[in-house]
């Protein structure tokens, strides 16, 4: 059980690194610094570009830079891009847990936990990670 998958992780690392650079950063440089597989990272960056987190420049001396200020990029956004909706309390049956009973108690309780967790994740921006 992991909250964050590899593409989110690599994506965040890349964004953090790019955020600290003044210049446009190439995949080649990121691969060197982060030590992650190049084609995989390319895919991730292309996605972040399509999602308007990064801005890309093609051609020689091209690369990536942030399209948004670091303080306005939140970890949960990146998670949602790569991992979809974050739902902790999904029920598998249409029925309630503990059948013959009213509403699903577990679900409600987990919902509270989820809400807390998401609220906290929603506060973490890239700027705070880079500063930290």
Q: Residue numbers of the site for its own copies (CB under 8 A)?
A: 1-4, 6, 9-10, 12-13, 16-17, 20, 33-36, 75, 83-93, 95, 97-103, 105-106, 109-110, 112-114, 116-117, 120-121, 124, 128-130, 132
**Per CB under 7 A, does 74 bind DNA?**
no
Residue among 42 and 71 whose Cβ is closer to DNA: 42
CA distances from 57 to 24, 63, 95, 121 (A): 8, 5, 51, 30
Residues 37 and 106: their CA atoms lie apart, in Å, by 41
> Which residue, 73, 68, 51, is CA-closest to 125?
73
69 binds, among its own copies, DNA, none (CB under 5 to 8 A by kind): none
């Amino acid at each position: 059980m992991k909250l964050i998958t590899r593409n989110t992780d690599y994506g965040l690392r890349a964004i953090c690194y790019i955020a600290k650079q003044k210049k446009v950063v190439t995949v080649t440089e990121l691969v060197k610094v982060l030590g992650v597989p190049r084609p995989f990272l390319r895919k991730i960056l292309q996605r972040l570009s399509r999602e308007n987190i990064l801005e890309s420049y093609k051609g020689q001396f091209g690369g990536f830079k942030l399209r948004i200020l670091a303080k306005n990029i939140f970890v949960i956004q990146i998670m949602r891009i790569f991992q979809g909706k974050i739902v902790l309390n999904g029920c598998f049956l249409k029925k309630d847990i503990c059948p013959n009973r009213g509403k699903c108690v577990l679900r409600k309780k987990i919902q509270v936990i989820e809400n807390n967790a998401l609220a906290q994740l929603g506060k973490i921006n890239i700027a705070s990670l880079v500063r930290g």
